[in-house]
Structure 1
Amino acid sequence: MKIALLGVGRMGHELGVHLLTANHEVSAWNRTPARVDRLVEAGATRAESPEDAVRDADVVLTVLFGPDTVREVVLSGLDLPADAVWLDVTTVSPADALEFTDYATAAGIRYVHGPVIGSLAPARAGRLGVMLGGADADLDVVEPLAALWADDERLRRVQTPAAAATGKLLANLALGVTLQGLVEALRLGKANGLDAAAVLEQLEGTGLAVIAGMKGAVITGGTFEDTQFSADLLAKDLRLMLRSSEDPLPAVTAALQSLTDAQRSGSGDDDIAVIAKPELG
């Protein structure tokens, strides 16, 4: 198939590599052209504009920063081929997904929301969680593509794009809240004479063991620049959660404050584990 890839950031690159490895034809565009260089070296064609990328595409894959970028790139009037399926991997809110569904219906566009759950390492390994929401006929087209980067047991169809968006936010809520819990555990340990390694050892077998195992080495090693999932991206997702609930989400609010502090200190592009950095002094 010919795939138009709009958005070649960290995750977009990994998905593009999977497509190329499976011998799909990939036309890639990114606002910052240099971001496309590595994918071109791997066999993709560089598109000079979104319009250039989507020309004659069978599937238009968007992997953008957030819903506002989707509006700017796609909803601004991008003319998709009549029979193409638009597969949006961008993390958006349920309300955004409803808006995009309405737009696609009015424009005669076949729309599937297919967010991924996981960071760069599982993306490279083809072990991401994936939720696909849309019409069955459209899911039939894109599911074989999503299977390239999905864990077989975590590739799920849901009823609507909005349901897929909700599922992605729930997954990232779990990530953000447990990461904040890890930060507070490190803070409590430090206040009582334990260093980070000792706190991580004490957390084995607890409810924070998974996030401690995932980010412990990054925290103790201070390798925050080796970004798997950036503080900027998770902060954006937590803001989407807060806008998606009429009731308070205090744990999400606490995690967002930690991420915002990291952004203000210039660490927004670092790995999300950077919010533990103040607890290491």
Structure 2
Amino acid sequence: MPEGHTLFRLARQQDELFVGREVHVSSPQGRFTAGAEAVDGRVLDEVTSYGKHLFARFGGDVVHVHLGLYGKFTTGTGTAPEPRGALRMRWEATGPDGAGVWTDLRGATACELLTDPEVDAILYRLGPDPLRKSDPRKAYARIAKSRVTIGALLMDQAVLAGVGNVYRAEVLFRAGISPFRPGRDITPEEWTALWRDLVTVMRAGVKAGRIVTTRAEHRPRRKGGLRREDASYVYRRTGLPCRVCGTEVRTEVMVGRNLFWCPTCQAV
């Protein structure tokens, strides 16, 4: 599932290409026909993200998208290709340089037209977003009272918005915190450090367009730049030696997703 940095980049890209322009909105698949007709031909005012949610504002109407596990935007310039397959929503406009621009949405969990109160209701249910001006104390107030493991709490979007399976595994490793520790055992100092690290690595993800959490001293020296397999400490490295201590990285399912951790560096 795309994590918060991906939605942040998508919002920024769509903002640059479409905001301030009349946008032709369609739903070739037919599942968003009424919503598309309501905003078709109107000027797009802004595109923003919060956590894993995308909001595109056309006056008083807001197109809300949640990509879920399989959703994806594809964007291009020139004439849009002939619609094929389950194409939920398409935007077309004249871009900044006078050429055509388009973006296609497929496979999203949610693609719907909302009012401002409905958008506010979604935001109210979400925890603070490390990529936004958010108050981390709101998240800690819930974490500090919870018997639920910190590994599960970090995946709860009502506690923290935008963090997914990769960032969960990696920031806990970087902090040396076991994912199995109850939230109430996380000290204020540990939470402050976790939050700051989330801000750092997620901002880096926005800039790079990929998640890289390994520090330079823990990466092998290779020609040709950083490889995907060198970008993380524990995520998808089951059975491989920990980059720091050499212990085999372990995995098990937690809240429906594979959790990865080092039992030595992250001892309970």
Compute the TM-score of the two structures, normalised by the length of structure 1: 0.29
Which structure has greater strand proportion?
2
Report the TM-score, using the length of structure 2 for normalisation.
0.30
Greater relative contact order, per chain length (Cα 8 Å cut-off, separation 6+): 2
Structure that is richer in helix per residue = 1
Larger radius of gyration between Structure 1 and Structure 2? 2
